[in-house]
Amino acid sequence: MQKDREKRNTRLLEIFGLLLALLWLSPFYLMIVNAFKTKRGIFEGVLGIPVEFTFENFVNAFAELEFLKSLFNSVLITGLSILIIILFSSMAGYALARNKSKLSGIIFFVFVAAMLIPFQSVMIPLVAIFGQVDMLNAAGLIFMYLGFGCSLSIFLYHGAMTGISKSLDEAAIIDGASRFQTFWYIIFPLLKPISVTVAILNTIWIWNDYLLPSLVLSEANATIPLKMFYFFGQYTKQWHLALAGLTIAIIPVIIGYFFAQKQIIDGVSEGAVK
């Protein structure tokens, strides 16, 4: 009897959970249905499905957002930033974990302590310095992402190194491999799980970042969030267009989430708990 009651309770909870999940998704529902309405359709009501179904908003928003171009910029900047963050942070995590000296400990501490500094506290001098050397461009931005992203990444790699035996390095060195060869052919492949985590955590942040690109990039090189901001400013109160634009901007993220949801949730869990 106790079992039956528990089963029933679980069933009720499940129904509650599913209703809550629907409520959670409702903002996206409202965005999508209204993106298919005409301007008048939205004026007549935002809750129901479109009476006069139109695809035109998407065509216009796609063109106005220069979507392929901003998508390309976003992919390029995020992709290159992730590559250099993974490469350089794993090298540093390896070096710091294998060197047990006091100096190594201090360097590690500085990287961890730097995580305390909020972006707004360094933003103004940062932009001024990069402006003076003419580096307010995509290359400068990618370098900035290395600077902001390396602390947490080094921390994660450093932690993962404790599980990798030192005898592996020693064997490779005896066989005549250089330090870098040892790292690249022996250690780096073993760090792959943590590299996935590092890639996911940094992608979520860099892909969505707005403030830093808005200070660094010109409109011609705008990423998706930056372009979205300009676009939205231009079409305030024209919700049919704005909502279609927002829907388009979200699609790449949803596709990514669809294919890698397990890795994403595991990665976020790992990054947060450590």
Partner 1 sequence: MRNRSLSFWLFLTPVILGLGIVVVIPFVYGLIYSFTDWNGLTANNFVGLENYIKLFQEDEFMNSIWFTIKFAVITVLLLNIFGLGLALLVTRNMKTNNLMRTVFFMPNLIGGLILGFIWQFIFISVFGDISGITGIEGLSGWLSTTNTGFWGLVILTSWQMAGYIMIIYIAYLENVPKELIEASKIDGANAVQRFKNVIFPLVAPAFTVSMFLTLSMSFKIYDQNLSLTNGGPFNSTQMVAMEIVRTAFSDREMAYAQAKAVIFFLIVAVISLTQVYYNKKREVDV
Instruction: Find, among 244, 252, 197, the residue nearest to 223 by Cα.
Output: 252
Which of 147, 165, 171, 193 binds partner 1 (CB under 8 A)? It is 147
Q: Could you say which residues in the range 208-237 bind partner 1, by CB under 8 A?
A: 208-211, 215, 225, 228-229, 232
Structure tokens at 45: 């009501």
Confirm or reject binding of residue 179 to partner 1 (CB under 8 A): yes
257-266 — which CB contacts under 8 Å span 24+ positions? 260/200, 263/196, 263/200, 264/200, 264/204, 266/197
Pairwise CA distance, residues 152 & 120, whole Å: 18
Which of 36, 58, 67, 239 binds partner 1 (CB under 8 A)? It is 239
Confirm or reject binding of residue 31 to partner 1 (CB under 8 A): yes
The Cα angle at residue 199 between residues 139 and 228, in degrees rounded to 5: 60
CB 204 within 8 A of CB 155: no
Residue found by looking up tokens 């809550």 in the block: 20
CB 223 within 8 A of CB 67: no
Given the rule CB under 8 A, which of 18-26, 51-59, 61-69, 188-196 is the region that contacts partner 1?
18-26
Which of 65, 86, 154, 191 binds partner 1 (CB under 8 A)? It is 154
Confirm or reject binding of residue 204 to partner 1 (CB under 8 A): yes
Which CB atom, from 47 or from 220, has the smaller least distance to partner 1?
47
Structure tokens at 174: 């005896």
Confirm or reject binding of residue 181 to partner 1 (CB under 8 A): no
Which of 63, 143, 193, 234 binds partner 1 (CB under 8 A)? It is 143
Confirm or reject binding of residue 95 to partner 1 (CB under 8 A): yes
Which of 86, 198, 222, 264 binds partner 1 (CB under 8 A)? It is 264
Which of 8, 45, 139, 185 binds partner 1 (CB under 8 A)? It is 45
Which of 89, 197, 202, 221 binds partner 1 (CB under 8 A)? It is 89
Pairwise CA distance, residues 141 & 128, whole Å: 13
Pairwise CA distance, residues 161 & 111, whole Å: 16
Which of 18, 49, 51, 255 binds partner 1 (CB under 8 A)? It is 18
Within a 10 A sphere around the Cβ of 206, how many other Cβ atoms? 24
Which CB atom, from 221 or from 223, has the smaller least distance to partner 1?
223
Give min distance, CB of 163 to partner 1, in A. 18
How buried is 152 (Cβ within 10 angstroms: 0-12 exposed, 13-18 middle, 19+ buried)?
buried
Give min distance, CB of 274 to partner 1, in A. 9
Confirm or reject binding of residue 189 to partner 1 (CB under 8 A): no
Which CB atom, from 2 or from 220, has the smaller least distance to partner 1?
2
How buried is 12 (Cβ within 10 angstroms: 0-12 exposed, 13-18 middle, 19+ buried)?
exposed
Structure tokens at 24: 């959670």
Give min distance, CB of 145 to partner 1, in A. 9
